[in-house]
Amino acid sequence: MILITGSSGQVGSYLVERIDGSIGLDKKPSKYTKIVQDIRGNLEDALRNYEIDAIVHAAAQVSVVKSVEDPKFDAENNVIGTLNLLEYARKHDVENFIYISSAAVYGEPKYLPIDEKHPTEPKSPYGLSKLVGEKYALLYGELYGLKVASIRPFNIFSDRQDPSSPYTGVISIFVQNALRGKPLIIHGDGKQTRDFVNVDDVVSLIKIVLEKSATGIYNCGTGIEVSILELARTVIELSGREVDIKYDAPRPGDIKHSRADISSAISIGFVPSTDLRRDLKRFFFSG
């Protein structure tokens, strides 16, 4: 059986749907969550009735902004929670452990595209906690024989992002504002770029890693840069609304540019399918 942590979240919910023989664990109940349990808590009791062969660890505190406001809470979830899962995996001879990391581990790029050998100098507590969790996972692989892979997604988007959360992704915030006729707020000058990858591609890479018992670190993105201003204009066009774009101060911890080198993922069979305009329309404007 494959345990999916964070099964109420954006990535975890899709994983439960699309990976046969999987079971979801999350501290929040949902239709994707069979086991309601905080990853920092007693996993022995929560999982006593299950034979776990692999863990895909997607549970995390995922907000850069929240991590800056409360770095201790961020570390408790992303470091201690991960370590608790790794200890369970070690004690119960779980064969495969896939850690869902983040492109935030890189910090401000020294060069583009960013490959897996790029220096890791996070600019936020979130990026740091994801890097520490990743290093713990990889070390457990070396020390205890776990087959560990770390996947570093860039900017994931899907229709399961939560636009009501103040910490959600820029895409869902832009879409919500556009549909309500409210201005789209850009933090900074709008020239900052991101590599937006749809959730289907993230799930695809995770499934490939599982099927091949691949180990190591893999970027998950498209290799394409899109500016935040271009994103805003595309959302407005697709919404069919006449709304303004306004500018605000840059957010602490944000980087200027981002673009993934996905050569390692391609080498194990990954083929990205993301088309930003098409996927925005499919996820948010098809109705």
245's tokens: 């774009």
State how far Cα 56 lies from the chain centre. 12
Q: Which of 126, 136, 140, 218 is catalytic?
A: 126
CA distance 125 to 67: 5
Instruction: Tell me if residue 126 is catalytic.
Output: yes
The C-alpha angle 127, 24, 98, rounded to 5 degrees, equals 45
Q: Using CA of residue 87, residue 9, residue 214, residue 20, what is the dihedral sign? A: positive
The residues, ordered by sequence, that sit 6+ positions from 87 with a Cβ below 8 Å of its Cβ are none
Of the candidates 123, 127, 157, the one whose C-alpha atom is nearest the C-alpha of residue 231 is 157
Parallel/antiparallel/unpaired status of strands 193-194 and 54-57: unpaired
User: Which residues are 184's β-sheet partners?
Assistant: 245
Q: Is 185 exposed, middle or buried (0-12, 13-18, 19+ CB in 10 A)?
A: middle
On whether the CB atoms of residues 135 and 79 are closer than 8 A, the answer is no
- The answer to whether the CB of 96 falls within 8 A of the CB of 54 is yes
Question: Given the structure tokens 């960013």, which residue do they identify?
Answer: 114
List, by residue number, the catalytic residues: 126
